[in-house]
């Protein structure tokens, strides 16, 4: 179905996107800005600790899934602060940090929390689940279009719309799921997710927009706080 191809290219973080990036393994990266709060050595330590914990959690939840995380740095000096999870051509999970993202962190806990969050997306199979949701929704929208005797071009547009709607309906829930599991991964790797979540105080709040891509910052912080109670970090 052509709509699934559209979805993978236009909405999800597909493996091909990494091919146009200038990537370096976190283990080899050694070029933070002079005024960065987190050193390259600390970032490498975080990557090793979160990668190990995320792999263990991934294997516990999905024994048949590729759980060997690759953590990379985008060397593009103009890339804005961002981190995301994708898959390479072998379906291996890849977590990519821009240098601006690393340099924007005020401490190791913030970077660990962001990394734990991105790893959680893979553990929870969010790319696969979004693809499944989009495919099902595209088929339903296409069937509805056929009931009204739409032509092939309009049916394809209906399928495309169905895929997009499915992604938007679930994307905020997936972010909260990743925040919850990311909190657990961060804590178990030896970092404080409550300190890490302070990062939300410094980024724009998307608010509670209909079909928005991210939930409100306050809701995300509350998920972290609620999850942290099981570790005795809050009472």
Query: Per residue in 174-190, is it b (16+ CB within 10 Å) or e — as a string?
Result: bbebbbbbbbbbbbbbe
Tokens linked to 198: 């302070």
Is 182 in contact with 194 (CB distance < 8 Å)? no
The Cα–Cα gap between 63 and 67 comes to 8
Same-domain status, 101 and 184: no
More confident residue, 20 or 173: 173
* pLDDT band for position 3 (cuts 50, 70, 90): very low
pLDDT at position 181: 97
pLDDT at position 206: 67
Same-domain status, 147 and 76: no
The Cα–Cα gap between 228 and 179 comes to 11
Task: Confirm whether 120 is domain-assigned.
Answer: no
Same-domain status, 156 and 69: no
Phi first, then psi, for residue 209 (nearest 5°) are: -80, 140
Distance of CA 223 to the CA centre of its chain: 16
DSSP string, 170-215: HHHHHHHHHHHHHHHHHHHTT--HHHHGGGGGGS----S-TT-SS-
pLDDT at position 94: 97
DSSP state of 87: E
Q: What is the mean pLDDT of residues 207-226?
A: 79
CA distances (Å), 1 to each of 7, 72, 169, 215, in order? 10, 32, 21, 31
Tokens linked to 142: 């296409």
Task: Confirm whether 111 is domain-assigned.
Answer: no
Same-domain status, 192 and 159: yes
Q: How many structural domains comprise the chain? A: 2
Same-domain status, 70 and 136: no
Asked whether the predicted pLDDT for residue 157 surpasses 90, the reply is no
Distance of CA 147 to the CA centre of its chain: 37
pLDDT at position 182: 98
Same-domain status, 131 and 219: yes
| Closest CA relative to residue 177, chosen from 210, 215, 139, 149 | 215
Predicted model pTM: 0.83
Range of the domain at 163: 127-231
Asked whether the predicted pLDDT for residue 36 surpasses 70, the reply is yes
The Cα–Cα gap between 147 and 154 comes to 12
pLDDT at position 162: 62
Tokens linked to 212: 């928005």
Q: What is the mean pLDDT of residues 83-105?
A: 95
pLDDT in tens, 46-78: 999 999 999 999 999 987 899 999 999 999 999
Helix axes 40-61, 108-123, angle to 10 degrees: 30
Specify the 3-state DSSP secondary structure of 97. Answer: strand
pLDDT at position 210: 46
Same-domain status, 185 and 138: yes
Same-domain status, 81 and 135: no
Phi first, then psi, for residue 22 (nearest 5°) are: -95, 95
User: Which of 73-87, 190-204, 208-222 bottoms out in mean pLDDT, i.e. has the lowest?
Assistant: 208-222
Other C-beta atoms lying within 10 Å of the C-beta of residue 219:
16
Sequence-distant (6+) residues with CB within 8 A of 200 are 217, 220, 221
More confident residue, 8 or 67: 67
Same-domain status, 213 and 160: yes
In the chain, the percentage of residues whose pLDDT exceeds 90 is 57
* pLDDT band for position 37 (cuts 50, 70, 90): very high
User: Which of 86-90, 160-164, 182-186, 190-194 bottoms out in mean pLDDT, i.e. has the lowest?
Assistant: 160-164
Asked whether the predicted pLDDT for residue 167 surpasses 60, the reply is yes
User: From edge to edge, which strands make up the β-sheet containing 70-74?
Assistant: 23-25, 70-74, 93-98, 83-87
């Amino acid at each position: 179905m052509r709509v699934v191809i559209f979805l993978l290219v236009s909405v999800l973080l597909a493996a091909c996107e990494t091919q146009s990036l200038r990537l370096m393994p976190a283990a080899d990266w050694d070029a933070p800005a002079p005024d960065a709060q987190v050193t390259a050595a600390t970032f490498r330590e975080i990557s090793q600790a979160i990668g190990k914990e995320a792999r263990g959690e991934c294997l516990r939840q999905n024994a048949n899934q590729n759980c060997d995380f690759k953590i990379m740095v985008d060397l593009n000096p103009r890339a804005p602060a961002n981190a995301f999870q994708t898959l390479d051509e072998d379906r291996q999970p890849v977590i990519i940090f821009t240098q601006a993202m690393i340099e924007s962190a005020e401490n190791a806990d913030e970077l660990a929390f962001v990394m734990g969050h991105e790893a959680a997306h893979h553990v929870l199979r969010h790319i696969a689940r979004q693809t499944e949701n989009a495919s099902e929704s595209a088929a339903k929208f296409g069937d509805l279009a056929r009931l009204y005797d739409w032509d092939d071009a309009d049916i394809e547009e209906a399928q495309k719309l169905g895929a997009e709607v499915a992604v938007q309906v679930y994307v905020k829930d997936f972010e909260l799921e990743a925040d919850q599991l990311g909190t657990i991964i961060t804590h178990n790797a030896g970092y404080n997710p409550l300190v890490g979540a302070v990062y939300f105080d410094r980024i724009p709040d998307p608010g509670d927009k209909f079909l928005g891509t991210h939930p409100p910052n306050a809701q995300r912080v509350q998920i972290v706080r609620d999850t942290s109670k099981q570790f005795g970090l809050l009472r």
